[in-house]
Amino acid sequence: DIQMTQSPPSLSASLGDKVTITCQASQNINKYIAWYQQKPGKAPRLLIRYTSTLESGTPSRFSGSGSGRDYSFSISNVESEDIASYYCLQYVNLYTFGAGTKLELK
Amino acid sequence: QVTLKESGPGILQPSQALSLTCTFSGFSLSTYGMRVSWIRQPSGKGLEWLATIDWDDDKYYNPSLKSRLTVSKDTSNNQAFLKITSMDSADTATYYCAWTSRAPFAYWGQGTLVTVSS
């Protein structure tokens, strides 16, 4: 089984800040990582697939990078609508989510 | 436009089996490359992948729950199903179905809350 270690569990940011979330896989996942945004009471929304490919409708202030076991997800110029929880997902071998990161306003 | 909607019993007693239905539109689960997955989320906690069924009826299960899960489909009625046996309070969660084509879990249903309580 592939494990995904996501950090930090929570993040406090001011509007306009840049924030970064990381996920480390327990083995090489060959860039098969996706990132999701979830707002309270709503289903998750896919933002990025295959490390850095933005889904249609994902604002360009979102980005992803990484390789091997180590990956990151960033939001530049945080906006109020970005306040949510974020999850990584490996999909190279079955599926495993990271534990999530809750982004709050400072 | 892809849409999915989960339906279930809402509440059930410990040790009972849970049966969930995912009714979808905008794609056919008999088309090459399509798959439907089930994911759950206890209130205030993270996401857990449970099971996936492919267009060609291949099935994949979370190893930690595999003995309790059965996924199936009815392509003629655009539905997918999940059965979980021996439900316990720890299985109380919102259960989602999601569609995968090129991208994993690209579209999600709204979720259905399942509460296990005596």
Per-residue model confidence as pLDDT tens digits over B33-71:
999 999 999 999 999 999 999 999 999 999 999 999 999
Best A95, A96, A97 member to test B by mutation, with max B CBs in 10 Å, is A95
- Report the pLDDT value the prediction gives residue B91, as an integer from 0 to 100: 98
Residues in chain A predicted with pLDDT less than 50, given as ranges, are: none
pLDDT of residue A20: 98
* 3-class secondary-structure state, position B44: coil
Residue with structure tokens 């889904």? A55
> What is the rounded distance in angstroms from the CA atom of residue B10 to the CA atom of residue A105?
34
Q: Are strands B11-12 and B112-116 parallel, antiparallel or unpaired?
A: parallel
In the sheet that B3-7 helps form, which strands lie side by side, from edge to edge?
B3-7, B18-25, B79-84, B69-74
Predicted confidence at residue B17, as pLDDT, reads 98
CA separation for the pair B37, B104 (Å, rounded): 9
Of B64, B104, B106, the CB nearest to A95: B104
What is the C-alpha radius of gyration for chain A, rounded to an integer number of angstroms?
13
| Structure tokens belonging to residue A24 | 């480390």
* Cβ of residue A40 closer than 8 Å to a chain B Cβ: no
CA distance A100 to chain B (A): 6
